[in-house]
Structure 1
Amino acid sequence: MKIADMHCDTIYEIYERRARGEECGFLSNSLHIDLEKMKKGDYLLQNFALFVPKEDVEGKMPLPEYALRLADVFFSELRKAPDAIGIVKSYADIEENRKQGRMSAMLSMEEGAACEGKLEYLRTFYELGVRMFTFTWNYPNELAWPNRIHLTGLKAGACEPETERGLTEKGFEFLEEMERLGMIPDVSHLGDKGIYDVIAHAKRPFVASHSNARAICGHVRNLTDEMIRGIAQKGGVIGMNFAPAFLREEASWGSPKAVSVTDVVRHIRHMIQIGGIDCVGLGSDLDGCRISFEIESAADMPLLVDAISGEGFTDGEIEKICWGNVLRLYKEVLR
């Protein structure tokens, strides 16, 4: 079964390891994702995020520069294997890669602050190849407010929904411009109010690229049933996240207790019960989280397929979950 995954942080990890003087590349590495692992996992497509850790980068270099440095890693590494994987900017590119037996790689942006509130930067990143864009990461920026996740200090680990502040005026401008360009808005990491703002104002399908169900695991990074319904009604897709803290409440981010691939299936089943079979996809967050279950890397994705099949889903349903829903949305939104 083919795999289309809407989110990973592999490019960030390669860049940061090199910055520490380590050797690391895309063709083969010790990370969750490299070319050989993707081949073993039967990948059709992987979104590679330009993850800009705002609070770590500020004061060291401009955020747009950091994003461009990540993009340079993406292009230089992916072009080392042109016969195996192709960079895509359109749905036609994905189809051409499938026809030629190549996997596809698509750029996304994780942290809207990389644009510094400037639409011209958004358009420039689009020209560069960014086709999916999160409004925030874990900090407020010019575009929107995330839920309050305390990363340090006395409240470290505490999480609170942001129910009053959502998209800013500039955030609404970015939403409109993304839809005009054919860029996919991504509400993962956005606060509760911001997600409802996008649901209310979006005219085209959008995604939560790596978010799970709050009814199954109460972390505020996960989606309420009302959010799931709203995204589904807009024709959107939600990518299942493998981070233990988002799969089961007993697990934690810093030292995750063991979870199981069946926990992923629990979230899938709930999403389908609330939003229907067409709203569920994959957004593993590999290389962006500490995984602690059977899937140790991209090579192990067939284990997820087996687990979904073992829960009684039909071949057609499994196809939609693993890649069909994502490609349906890409076909509708990408130019």
Structure 2
Amino acid sequence: MKVIDMHCDTMKEILDARMIGKNTNLKKNNLSVDIEKMNQGNYMLQVFAAFTNMKEEDSTVNCLKTIDIFHNEIEANKEHIGIVLSYNDILKNIEQNRMSALLSIEEGACCKGDLGLLRNFYKLGVRMMTLTWNYENELGFPNEIIESKLVLDRGLKKAGFEFIEEMENLGIIIDVSHLSDAGFYDILNNTKKPFVASHSNARSICNHRRNMTDDMIKKLADRGGVMGLNFYSCFLNNNYTSNDMSKLDDMIVHLKHIRNIGGIEVIGLGSDFDGINCRVEIENASKMQILGEKMKKEGFTENEIEHIFYKNVLNLFKEIL
């Protein structure tokens, strides 16, 4: 089964490793994602996030450094993987028996609220972006706990509305993972194209503020969007502890629930590999096929598994890129 994964933080991990003198690369490493592991896992496409923590680093500079790593690593492995700037690039890579790499940004703060920076990031190859990470920025708000209370009702700021309009014009996929509930509905009500929640699960199964409510899942499905199953244990199970393993059984519960709420075509994969700090039953990219095997045992049809593993995201890319 071919695989499209909408989110990993591998490029940031490579950058961080090099910052402390480690010679880490994409071909083969001790992370969850590398060329060899993706080949073993039968990957068609991996979305690589340029993640930055705005509270710890200059978000724009760090994002640019991560994008530089991305381009250099893809170039160094061009016989195995090629950059995706348009849907046709995916088709060309398939013809050349190569995997595809799509560049995303995780944390819109790197744009400083400046549409010119957004356009420049597009020119550098960015084709997907989250408006926020875990902090308020120039574009909007995540769901936050303030004075011990969960705050869900602060959405996009003025710049955020300007950004989603320009993102649709350019062909940058809007990613609502990490955005507040109010921000989700701001995007729903002020855009026309499908959008994604690249690495979010079902909140009614695991009551974490990063997950999607049933109404959000329905609305995303109605728009033709896709949400990617996140492998992080705290987004899968209400009873997780810091030492827990992310388990296939919990993933199946989320997949079945999302299918019942939004239909099979709203589901994709968004592992969050190299961005999560729990043990995972799917140890790394090379083991991705065990999820498909588990799904078969749990009653998912071959057609349903194909749609979740790659077809739903591929169809969305075809429409937007």
Range into which the TM-score falls when normalised by the shorter chain:
over 0.9
Return the letter of the residue paired with 2:133.
W
Report deviation, 1:268: 1.0
Kept after mapping to 2: 8 A contact 1:146/1:189? yes
Q: 2:192 maps to what in 1? A: 203
Q: Which residue does the alignment assign to 2:98? A: 102
Question: Match of 1:45, SS?
Answer: strand
Contact 2:231/2:280 (8 A) holds in 1: no
Is 1:162 matched up with 2:152? yes
Match of 2:32 in 1: 32
Partner of residue 251, structure 2: 264
Cα distance in 2 for residues equivalent to 1:293 and 1:286:
9
Counterparts of 2:27 and 2:145, CA distance in 1: 35
| Structure 1: runs of 5+ lacking an equivalent | none
CA distance in 2, matches of 1:167, 1:56: 23
Task: Work out the CA distance in 1 between the residues paired with 2:189 and 2:222.
Answer: 11
Q: Percent identity between the aligned chains?
A: 50
Distance in 2 (alpha carbons) for counterparts of 1:291 and 1:327: 29
Cα deviation code 1:256-285 (max 9, x no counterpart):
313311211111111111111110000000
**Number of aligned residues:** 321
Aligned to 2:85: 89
Deviation sequence 1:193-241 (CA, Å, 0-9, x none) = 1111111222000000000000110000000001101111111000000
Partner of 2:67: 71
Instruction: Encode CA deviations 1:156-186: one digit per residue, 9 max, x unaligned.
Output: xx772422x1001110110000000111000
Aligned to 2:165: 176
2:175 aligned with 1:186:
yes
TM-score (norm 1): 0.93
CA distance, structure 2, for counterparts of residue 251 and residue 9 of structure 1: 22
1:182·1:333 contact (CA, 8 Å) conserved in 2? Answer: yes
CA distance in 2, matches of 1:267, 1:2: 21
Task: Quote the Cα distance in structure 1 between the aligned partners of 2:299 and 2:54.
Answer: 43
> 2: distance between equivalents of 1:8 and 1:24?
16
Q: Which amino acid aligns with 2:276?
A: C
Measured at CA, do residues 19 and 159 of structure 1 come closer, stay the same or move farther in structure 2, by a change above 3 Å? farther
Contact 2:48 2:103 in 1 (8 A): yes
1:221 match:
210
Matches within 5 A, 1:296-307: 296-307=283-294
Shift in CA distance, 159/110, structure 1 to aligned 2, threshold 3 Å: farther
Q: For the residues of structure 1 that align with 2:48 and 2:223, how far apart are their CA atoms?
A: 24
Residue in structure 2 matching 1:241, options 230, 240, 244:
230
Q: TM-score, normalised by structure 2?
A: 0.97
Runs (4 or more) in structure 1 with deviation over 6 Å come to: none
Question: Is the Cα–Cα contact under 8 Å of residues 244 and 290 in structure 1 kept in the other structure?
Answer: no
Kept in 2: contact 1:256–1:290 (CA 8 A): no
Which SS does the other structure have where 2:50 is aligned?
strand
Please, which runs of 5 or more residues in structure 2 have no aligned partner? Answer: none
> Is residue 143 of structure 2 the alignment partner of residue 147 of structure 1?
yes
RMSD: 1.3
